[in-house]
Structure 1
Amino acid sequence: YDALLATDANFLLGRWLAWARSWGDGEAAKKLLEYGARNQLTLWGPSGQINDYAKKEWAGLVSSYYRPRWAKLFGAASSYLDGGGSQPWSDAMAEYCADVSTSVELPWQKDTTTFPDTPTGDTVALSRKLAAVYA
């Protein structure tokens, strides 16, 4: 999915983060602005007061943020089912939320991994390839 998104400049996380950093005068300001840009897309607040406030389907964001969250959710659901539902589902989800917050969401906001800010690949060719596999 990221590969297809990466073919269009309008769907690149790297552009958003580079733009945010460009407003900073020094490295400390650049880091703060990048943190703010990441925070707005994801948790919007110091501890996720408005989760996914400005959610985007962007290359880089899908693979580095949403995919690990989904993996954690499927793992939690699988564990719940394997355990025969011995605890209330709401308790299992509360555990999942606490886990995903500390292991995926908060670390991602503080991460400084760079992402491409120029498109790569051919949208039409990749779309045809994906259609041949999944259609």
Structure 2
Amino acid sequence: RRWIAGASGVTLAAAGALAALAPPHSVPALAAALVLLGLGWNFGLVSGTALVIDALPPTRRASGQGLVDVGIALAGAVGGLSSGLVVVLGGYRTLALAGGLLALAVIPVLGWAARRPAPARTAPAAPRTEAERT
């Protein structure tokens, strides 16, 4: 799970670097950067969801995941709004570099998390017997 989260940071950083270094009107380079962006985003979403579920007791998983989902949506909204300001003040290259640098922020977090013991996983509930269903 942590490996996939690290892959997310590296892939997102590569997307930002590729977008920042691409020639201004290179559709293939920008398309490749967008593919990397989507791949990195999904690595982060999947690994983050798994890490949240692992860290919470079963009774708090749904509310915890819901809170994380709201945070993701709010961060996306703030990022979308602020990216326009960054483009006006510094251009697309600055926006791409800033996004790539922000993606690298996951690396120290993973280092910190690696020092913590992994939470014990709970076994899935056993299927209910016919007598319990009635």
| TM class by smaller structure | 0.3 to 0.5
Structure (1/2) with the larger helix percentage: 2
TM-score (normalizing by structure 1) = 0.35
TM-score (normalizing by structure 2) = 0.36
